[in-house]
Structures are given as C-alpha cells and as structure tokens.
Amino acid sequence: MTAMEMSAGAAKRRGAGGWRWSGRIFLLLLLGFTVMPMIWMFITSLKTGFAAMQYPPQWWPAEPTLENYWRLIDPSGNVGRDFIQYFWNSIWVSTLTTILAVVVAVPAAYAFSRFRFPGRNFLFFAVLLRNMFPAVVFLVPLFILMKALGLVNTHGSLILTYLTFGLPLAIWLLKGFYDNIPVQLEQAARIDGATRFQAFLLIVMPLSTPGIIATSIYSFIGAWNEYIYAYTFLTRHDQMTLPVGIQRFFSENATDWPGLMAATFMMSIPVVVLFLVLQRYFVRALTEGAVKH
C-alpha cells in the first residue's frame, strides 16, 4: 500500500468519524428537545402554587413537595377519588380498544395478505380511505349514530369510535408484516398435516408477534390520549377518562398548575412503562423471527 493510499484511507476514516459524531450530537439534541417538556412538567409538579407563578421561574423549587401527588392518589379526598376513577376509566377503555383492534385486525390483515378475491384491492384501499380525512370531520355523524344506538355517556361509544380510527392503520401495518413472512413456511406446515388455521396459529402468529405488539402500542396510546371524542361523548362525571377529567384543575379564575402538571405526569407514566416493557419483547420477537426464517 502506497503512502498516498494510506493517506486517503486515513482521511476517509476521519470523515466517517466526523459524520458519526455529528449524528450523535444531533441525536442528543433531539433527545433533549423531547425530554425537556417532561422534566419541566415534573419540576413544576413539585412546586407550590405560588412558586409555580414566580417570574423569573425557579428551575428547581426551593422547597419541593409531593403534596400534589398525594392529593391525586388519596382516595379519601375529592381530587384523589375522581383522579383514580378517571384513571381506571382510561385503563378500561384503552385496554378493551387494544384487544378488539388486535382481534379484528389480525385476521383481516392476514386475509388481505394471503387470499385473492374479487374487489380485494378496492376493499383494502376503502378501509384506508377513512384515514384521509381529519378525525374531527366524523364528530357530528358519530355522535348522532351513538345517540341513536343509546351509547352516549357510555364507554362503548368511545371504544367503537377508537376502533373506527385505529383499525385501518392497524390492518395496514399487519398486512405489510404478513407480506414479509414467506408463504413457503405455511405450505411446509400444510404438507406435514397441519390445517390452514393450525399453520396460521403455530407458524404465522409467532413470527408476527412484533407487528402485533407494534399495533397494540399504537392502539393503546391512541385511545389513552384521545380528548375530543371523549369530551363530546362523555358528560357523566363517573364516566370521564383522564384527558377530560384533568380539566378540573382549570377554573374560571385560576389554574392549579402544579396539580395539573402532577396529573399530566402521572397520566404519561403508563404509556412510557408500556412502551419500555413491550420494547424488550419487540426486540426479542424480531430476533426469534430472524432465527426461524
């Protein structure tokens, strides 16, 4: 190797190292931009009402307190009793929405991926057509429909509505995942004596676990964070979900900012924990799928 080639190689490595460090710096900045609102939310939740309104703001409270969190989890107080009720309402609606979305999307996506039938492409794009319009466009028609069905002020109205919004994307995501699973695996199982359902259950389902988990995360987060439809369909106090229920920290004359930040921070915890826990299984399922392929 000549000196010129060695110099060119060193320059190339320096250039690659520069791009690598630039990428790391960009990711750190992006991480800071993402995490800072959560950090500020948590810091504000540790302040008193007076400290939260000070200007210039305190970056760390002189006398941090957990009183705002104790109020939220104390079932003997009005705020705590209502917050716990809202929390379990959100858990119920989001969990049931996720389960139904997976139960419906898995066979639908598999049918679109494996079967050939008249109108298949038209029906598939018709399913996706709903996502071309803003969700608020369907607010009045869905409210009229839920009122006609007697579902207003029930969690059933929210679950059906969230399925309407979540199923098209869930089917689309899972269909793309099934398309990447070799059909020869199912054919081999059929040759060994398995039925189509057994081949789907024992071969396709384990390999599609990452896609099912991703769909579940998407459905749960979408139902957990939704506000407009929950605000419109639920007017009974005991039926409200968290996004609507935390409005009680607002009033006409003042806003309890520390209490609101504490409630919002606690509302974010289940979603973060769910993603962190399922992410491990997501990676493991990807690895298992690669080995089975």
Q: What percent of the chain has pLDDT over 90?
A: 8
Asked whether the predicted pLDDT for residue 282 surpasses 50, the reply is yes
Nearest to 52 by CA among 215, 139, 242, 43: 43
User: What DSSP character marks residue 236?
Assistant: S
Q: How far is CA 281 from CA 265, 285, 292, in A?
A: 25, 6, 16
Report the pLDDT value the prediction gives residue 253, as an integer from 0 to 100: 65
Which of 47-56, 86-95, 180-189, 241-250 comes out lowest in average pLDDT? 47-56
Q: Are 271 and 199 in contact (CB under 8 A)?
A: no
Vertex 198: Cα angle to 166 and 214 (nearest 5): 25
d(CA 101, CA 224): 14
Nearest to 243 by CA among 86, 138, 97: 86
In the predicted model, what is the mean pLDDT of the chain? 80
pLDDT in tens, 42-99: 888 888 877 777 777 777 877 888 888 888 888 887 777 888 888 999 999 999 999 9
According to DSSP, the residues that pair with 255 across neighbouring strands are 250
- pLDDT confidence bin for 16, thresholds 50/70/90: low
Report the pLDDT value the prediction gives residue 14, as an integer from 0 to 100: 59
Give the count of beta carbons closer than 10 Å to the beta carbon of residue 194: 16
d(CA 181, CA 293): 8
Helices and strands, counts by H and E, the chain: 14, 0
| Residue 146 one-letter amino acid | M
Q: Are 141 and 229 in contact (CB under 8 A)?
A: no
Q: State the residue for tokens 């999307």.
A: 105
Cα dihedral angle (192, 195, 196, 199), rounded to 10 degrees?
-50
CATH number, span 76-292: 1.10.3720.10
**Highest-pLDDT range among 1-5, 6-10, 13-17:** 13-17
Q: Are 91 and 270 in contact (CB under 8 A)?
A: yes
Report the pLDDT value the prediction gives residue 292, as an integer from 0 to 100: 44
Nearest to 266 by CA among 94, 59, 52, 38: 38
